[in-house]
Amino acid sequence: MKTGFVLNENVRTELSGEKIKLRTENTSLYYGKFRALRNITLSIKERSIMAIIGPSGCGKSSFLRIFNRMNDLIPGARVEGKIEIDGNPIYGPAVDVVALRKKIGMVFQKPNPFQMSIYDNIAFGPRQHGIFSKNDLDRIIETSLQQSALWEEVKDKLGQPAMGLSGGQQQRMCIARVLAVEPEVILMDEPCSALDPAATLRVEDLMRILAEQYTIVIVTHNMQQAARVSDMAAFFMMASDRAGELVESGATTQIFTNPKDKRTEDYITGCFG
Ligand SMILES: Nc1ncnc2c1ncn2[C@@H]1O[C@H](COP(=O)(O)OP(=O)(O)OP(=O)(O)O)[C@@H](O)[C@H]1O
Ligand SMILES: [Mg+2]
């Protein structure tokens, strides 16, 4: 199939021997009586980028939120099936949700800086986890901003309000804020949709670097982005009862050049959605 997608040459397609970081098995999600996801079985390998793609309303954000239990905050939401990190359950009485959310950070569609300085934004998480020494915080803040490729732009104005940064800078600051608590997984829900093309490419470059250390799951409506940045991709679609289902998943190169399902091909070539 000729699609004209630019695939990242550094993408690793042979991940079969690597460790599975996140896994769902027969996972369903309900909002009250409405079933938003049906029987999703998907494995996400450690230190890779998984792109979740599919039309609006098929449950991509809901799926992402299953992993850090953000859906817990929605009244009436409940999950079924197996959901694991490193082979351990994410749901259940023994799970410490605060520790889980430290391990699994999230970056949202719209940058959401807190109404405080750049420094305090990034120090927020570490302080919550009991780090108060100025030396330690200074070090964490510099490292996180270096990792998120923002340090050079903000090192002389760390005390200024984060709201004064540009959209692309705010999003990289939000990524630094996630990195500051040393997570293992980063969930990104359309992280570039509010950014211009140059800022988008910066965030994509950053994701490739971060994937050497972290497991990343990204939801995106930008097919070029999914093709450029991800190692693996999963295509979701709504069934007739509006429940989201996994149509197919696999190496990004396969999904974008040789999809098994006609619906995947139609979606990625822009025939619907
Ligand atoms: N808090 C909620 N309460 C009730 N229903 C919800 C809630 N959040 C999402 N839904 C429903 O679940 C389904 C999936 O929504 P979700 O936001 O996960 O889709 P999505 O694939 O992320 O869509 P988009 O691409 O537009 O962001 C939709 O039918 C939506 O109306
Ligand atoms: Mg969404």
Nearest-CA residue for atom 16 of ligand 1: 59
User: Residue 33 has which token pair?
Assistant: 């009586």
Closest ligand 1 atom, CA of 109?
27
- Whether 62 is in the pocket of ligand 1, judged by its Cβ within 6 Å, is yes
Mutation test residue for ligand 1: of 28, 31, 187, the one with most atoms within 8 Å of CB? 31
Quick one: pLDDT band at residue 270, thresholds 50, 70, 90? confident
CA distances from 176 to 1, 25, 45 (A): 39, 31, 23
Q: Report how far Cα 251 is from the mean position of its chain's Cα atoms.
A: 17
DSSP 8-state secondary structure symbol assigned to residue 19:
P
108 lines ligand 1 (CB under 6 A): no
**Of ligand 1's atoms, which has the minimum distance to the CA of residue 34?**
5
Give the pLDDT confidence score for residue 12 in this predicted structure. 57
Identify which of 27, 37, 60, 63 to mutate to test ligand 1's pocket (most ligand atoms within 8 A of the CB).
60
Mean pLDDT for the stretch of residues 237-258: 97
pLDDT of residue 193: 87
Ligand 1 lined by 31 (C-beta under 6 Å):
yes
pLDDT in the model for residue 116: 97
pLDDT band at residue 11 using 50, 70 and 90 as cut-offs? low
**Whether the Cβ atoms of residue 29 and residue 77 lie closer than 8 Å to each other:** yes
pLDDT over 60 at 15, yes or no: no
The per-residue pLDDT for range 57-87, each reduced to its tens digit, is 999 999 999 999 999 999 999 999 999 999 9
Residues written for the chain: 273
Distance 46 CA to ligand 2 centre (A): 23
pLDDT digits (tens, 9 = 90+) for 94-135: 899 999 999 999 999 899 999 999 999 999 999 998 999 999
In order of their start, the domains of the chain are 20-112+182-268 (3.40.50.300)
Q: Which two tokens stand for residue 204?
A: 């994509």
State the pTM of this model: 0.92
Mapping DSSP to helix (H, G, I), strand (E, B) and coil, where does residue 118 land?
helix
What's the pLDDT band for 9 if we cut at 50, 70, 90? low
Going through the chain in order, the beta strands assigned E by DSSP cover 20-31, 34-45, 49-53, 77-85, 88-89, 104-107, 185-189, 215-219, 232-238, 244-251
The pLDDT value recorded for residue 239 is: 96
pLDDT higher at 61 or 17: 61
Measured from the CA of 64, which atom of ligand 1 is nearest? 18
Decide if pLDDT at 8 tops 70: no
Q: Is the CB of 71 under 6 A from ligand 1?
A: no
How far apart CA 126 and CA 135 sit, in angstroms, is 12
| H-run or E-run covering 31 | strand 20-31
